[in-house]
Amino acid sequence: MNMKSTLAIAAALCLGATVAAAQTAAPAKPAAKPAAPAKKAAPAPAPLPAADAEQLAAAERAHTGEYQCEFSQSIDVSMNPKANGYLDVKHNKQVWTMKPVVSSTGAVRLEDVKGQTLLLQIANKSMLMDTKAGRRVVDGCVHEKQKESAAAVAAAAAK
Q: Which CATH number is 62's domain given?
A: 2.40.128.50
pLDDT digits (tens, 9 = 90+) for 100-133: 998 888 899 999 999 999 999 998 999 999 999 9
The model carries a pTM of 0.69
Would you say residue 38 lies in a domain? no
Predicted local distance difference test score (pLDDT) of residue 26: 55
Q: In this structure, is residue 26 part of a structural domain?
A: no
Number of domains forming the structure of the chain: 1
d(CA 10, CA 65): 94
Give the residue ranges of the chain where pLDDT is below 50. Answer: 17-21
